[in-house]
Amino acid sequence: MFRDYLFQVSRFSRPSRLFLMAEAFYGVGQSAVWVLRGLYLKKAGFSESEIGQTLSVSAAGMALVVLLLPPLMDRRRLRPFQLAAVAALAGGLAGVAWVRERPLVLAMCFLSGLGSALLEVSSAPFFMRHSEGEERPYLFGVSTALSPAAGLLATLGMKAGALAWGEILGAYRDMLWVAAGITLVAWLPLMAVRETPPEPAPRKEAPFDWSTAARFCVPELLFGLGAGLTIPFINLYFNVRFGVPAGTIGLYYSFAQALMMGAFLMAPLLARRLGAVRTIVCFQLASIPFFLALAFTTSLPFAVATFLLRHACMNMVHPVSTNFMMEVMNPGQRARMSGLRQTANKLAWVVATWAGGRMIEHAPFMLDGFTTVMLVTIVFYVAGSALYWRFLRGEAEGRVIPPGAEPTSGA
């Protein structure tokens, strides 16, 4: 099993390897956005509602990219978009650490959202252009595992920084500057990429497959609503409910990233045995009991354990679902499909992060506001999983070939 994995990894093309290297550095910046930025803003005096607004603005930047740029990405080389992504994310992180006025902080969060979306939307079509069918599930698995690997290093670095400099505003600011600098290093491997041009567009393009796109996007919308209500506030959950300092929260995230690395690498192997759709739905639903426990527990060790297991179950299927979606779509429509999926997710986050911050601050239920948003999140996750199974089970059993094979039709 692992010998086969190593064999497939050895087949990765040089552009794919360079892009994976860039993703590793870029992942440090993404981890700083998720783990550090909210804690920095909280220390700077922002309320939960105001932090929710920064997250909504960031999601709005992502939505703008995925609404406008995917048709261009289907017809052009992708490296310029990826270089812009690195610059935008690094600039957004450094800007948050530099500016003081709230409108400027919102602008920097918007900029980092642009950077996040540019890389996310371009990565899947890039891999499809520089790989062949049999290695693709493994390429997506390694790519997705790199993000938690970078996050593990980043959160360990944040813990070390907190121990050395203390849990103070200036220390958080310095760590944001360091994360921005590491993110910029991703430019070096990207500049070395010699990219395969996109396939020439036919004289008469096939109409976009809106039916298949909707089957992916409607469940993604529900997942985005659920995730946006809760996930950006998990660091505040540990800080507010249990009084855990930022450095220790970073350590929790490092454990989660380490667990998720193994899960991402195992996901393509599970999909070969169970099928893509069955693997995705089973593990999404398996995360629900852990989320329910997280909502109600007052025990810190139990909260940490359920956080780790929920994080692994819900996220491990990402490389499987991305590869499955790319295999279904016509090669000339993959960036648009990736963009539409991101649009559904990010537009949901725009609404949900704003609503989540207000619910946590103003509408506590049972233990506190975190319980409220987690219960609503569970409803969205269950509904999204049910629709994913209903919409896409036939795709997996019918005309969609298992991961690794080439599709015979683009519809």
Q: Which of 37, 222, 217, 23 is nearest to 111 (CA)?
A: 37
**CATH number for the domain that contains residue 273:** 1.20.1250.20
Q: Judge whether 324 lies within some domain.
A: yes
Specify whether the backbone of 209 is left (phi greater than 0), alpha (psi in -120 to 50) or beta: beta
Q: Judge whether 409 lies within some domain.
A: no
In order of 23, 52, 108, 193, the CA distances from 64 in angstroms are 22, 18, 15, 27
Name residue, tokens 């938690």. 148
Specify whether the backbone of 275 is left (phi greater than 0), alpha (psi in -120 to 50) or beta: left
State the angle between helix axes of 102-129 and 79-98 in degrees (0 to 180), rounded to the nearest 10.
Answer: 160
The DSSP call for residue 186 is: T
CA dihedral for 400, 401, 402, 403, sign (positive or negative): negative
Backbone angles phi, psi at 378, to 5 degrees: -60, -40
Residue 371 has a pLDDT of: 92
Q: Judge whether 411 lies within some domain.
A: no
Coil, strand or helix at 368: strand
Q: Judge whether 408 lies within some domain.
A: no
Name residue, tokens 């993110």. 183
Q: Judge whether 291 lies within some domain.
A: yes
Q: Which of 121, 166, 123 is nearest to 143 (CA)?
A: 123
The count of domains in the chain is 1
Contact assessment for residue 388 and residue 341, using Cβ atoms and an 8 Å cutoff: no
Residue 408 has a pLDDT of: 30
Residues 6+ away with beta carbon under 8 Å from 307: 234, 252, 256, 290, 294
CA dihedral for 64, 67, 68, 70, sign (positive or negative): positive
CA dihedral for 96, 307, 292, 264, sign (positive or negative): positive
Residue 5 has a pLDDT of: 62
Contact assessment for residue 232 and residue 55, using Cβ atoms and an 8 Å cutoff: yes
Domain hosting residue 116, numbered range? 8-191+208-397
Q: Judge whether 407 lies within some domain.
A: no
d(CA 333, CA 232): 31
How many other CB atoms are there within 10 angstroms of residue 313's CB atom? 21
Contact assessment for residue 73 and residue 84, using Cβ atoms and an 8 Å cutoff: no
Q: Judge whether 123 lies within some domain.
A: yes
Contact assessment for residue 360 and residue 233, using Cβ atoms and an 8 Å cutoff: yes
The tens-digit pLDDT sequence of the chain (411 residues) is: 556 666 667 778 888 889 999 988 888 888 787 777 877 888 888 877 777 788 778 877 877 887 777 777 777 788 888 999 999 999 998 998 888 788 898 899 899 888 888 888 888 888 888 887 677 777 877 887 777 777 777 777 777 776 777 767 777 788 888 889 999 999 999 998 887 766 665 556 677 788 888 888 899 899 989 988 998 889 889 988 998 887 788 778 778 877 877 777 777 777 777 788 888 898 889 999 999 999 999 999 999 999 999 988 888 888 788 888 887 777 777 777 877 887 787 778 778 888 888 888 887 777 788 999 999 999 999 999 999 898 887 665 544 333 333 333 232
Beta bridge partner(s), residue 368? 365
Backbone angles phi, psi at 299, to 5 degrees: -100, 120
Q: How many residues does the chain have?
A: 411
DSSP notation for 87-107: HHHHHHHHHHHH--SHHHHHH
d(CA 274, CA 252): 31
Q: Judge whether 348 lies within some domain.
A: yes
Single pTM value for the model: 0.67
How many other CB atoms are there within 10 angstroms of residue 404's CB atom? 18
Contact assessment for residue 99 and residue 108, using Cβ atoms and an 8 Å cutoff: yes
3-class SS shares of the chain: helix, strand, coil, % to 5: 80, 0, 15
Coil, strand or helix at 167: coil
The DSSP call for residue 231 is: G
